[in-house]
Amino acid sequence: MISVVLHGELQQFGAKRREVDGAGKSAREIVTSLGIPAAETAAYVVNGEQVDDAAVLRDGDTLELLPAMTGGESEGALAGIRVVDLTWALAGPYCTLMLADHGADVVKVEIPGVGDESREWAPPHIKGVSAYYLAVNRNKRSVTSDLKHPDGKRILERLVEKADVVVENFSPGVLARLGFPDERLRSMNRRAVICHISGFGQDGPGRAWAAYDLVVQGMGGIMSLTGEPGREPVMVGVPQADMVGGMFAAFAIVAALEARHRTGEGQVIDATMIGGQVALLSRQAARYFADGTVPRPEGNMHASIVPYQTFRAADGFVNVCCANNALFERLCRALDLEDLLEDSRFADNPSRVKHRDALVPRIEARIATLPKAEVVRKLREANVPVGPISDLREVFSDPVVRHLGLIAEVDHPVAGRFKAPGIPVRLSGTPGSVRRYPPLLGEHTDEVLAEIGYSLDEIAKLRTDGAI
């Protein structure tokens, strides 16, 4: 008999654990026999090791099935919240992606014939569709409207009148010059939350400065801390200044919506990329404020904890973190380095920090003899914090990543079925879901205009006149 364990969303197909007569059958054959569509299963794990679907099971094996995140019908925590999305590129669209993933109705307003500039950011592309655009625009509806055209302005007015949230990331002052300063937006809809996202704020000395991720990473201090000692500064390998700015903006929007329950009114949010970067400085800022020391790049080691760093294994790299004596003792025993426990230089963390140059090479030499999977296995069995440094192929085949639904799959009418990072948090009562593919430019213009009161003839005239 084979023990089959269903994880996450796959439990809709039956009990979490069951015994089946599957010896001699492949993992795929067992899944099919249980009535589970192959596309719903993201990964197969036999006796704790990930395998492909052709693996043949033996009597007594345990087969764990991990779900693929392919969509959902959940309304989400923000169901009923209407968002007018006047954003482009990344910081703004990432903010509205977070709202959309949790159920908000996000209407993405784009320039007719052009759209969000990230639609053109390729390669890479999937069948001619920008992979960059696809990654951050699911769950939204697209409307085209020329905000310089009088009739295009009236469309935005109607959208704002019915909105709970308006988000924009034009350069500061552009929306006002188009005829929509904050006072006017608020007079049109006192309940709407107005969120501006920019590099350096809507007023003050930086309001006119152009802001791209690399620029803000540098100005916000992150790059001064990243990289190897004595080497040139290094940017973080993802556009995190954009993404963190969008995340803080989404948080602020949800906070403002909660405040509206008490006050009955919306408010104006000034969210900045630089603000997100300064917030991330955390312990390094604490060091600076404590004694005036300006932290410098330290590579992958921790200035105050030893060992807490990256080590080279025989076939890759691992990160090991020992923040107290108990962890250090378990590390030494797991790696057959018990003699280190008898050395007074390593008796406690301050001593280990002082004698880092004597301790670290011993650990390095031992780990270098082992494959990274073996290092991880030994230290996890000893309950020592450890993990491999994974490339993206390894990340997206990791059973934990699969189990948590961190890969989203959706069918697009042009790109076909594609994958993107999934929703990073799980809510028990109102989970987020992937309900819509990233929209084609203007795909929902007629649908949305009808919802705000335009007739078919009026929509046709708007199109003829170039307003949409």
Annotated catalytic sites, by residue? 242
Checking 418-425 for CB contacts under 8 A at 24+ apart, the result is 418/126, 418/131, 418/134, 420/134, 420/135, 420/138, 421/135, 422/69, 423/69, 423/101, 423/102
Distance between CA atoms of residues 104 and 461, nearest Å: 30
Distance between CA atoms of residues 109 and 445, nearest Å: 9
**Length, in residues, of the chain:** 468
Angle at 279 between CA 278 and CA 285, to 5 degrees: 70
Choose among 48, 65, 52, 61: nearest CA to 21. Answer: 61
**Residue 26 burial (CB < 10 Å; 0-12/13-18/19+)?**
middle
Contact 192, 163 (CB under 8 A): yes
Contact 363, 311 (CB under 8 A): yes
Distance between CA atoms of residues 336 and 252, nearest Å: 50
| DSSP letter (8 states) at residue 209 | S
Distance between CA atoms of residues 82 and 62, nearest Å: 46
Q: How many CB atoms lie within 10 A of CB 72?
A: 16
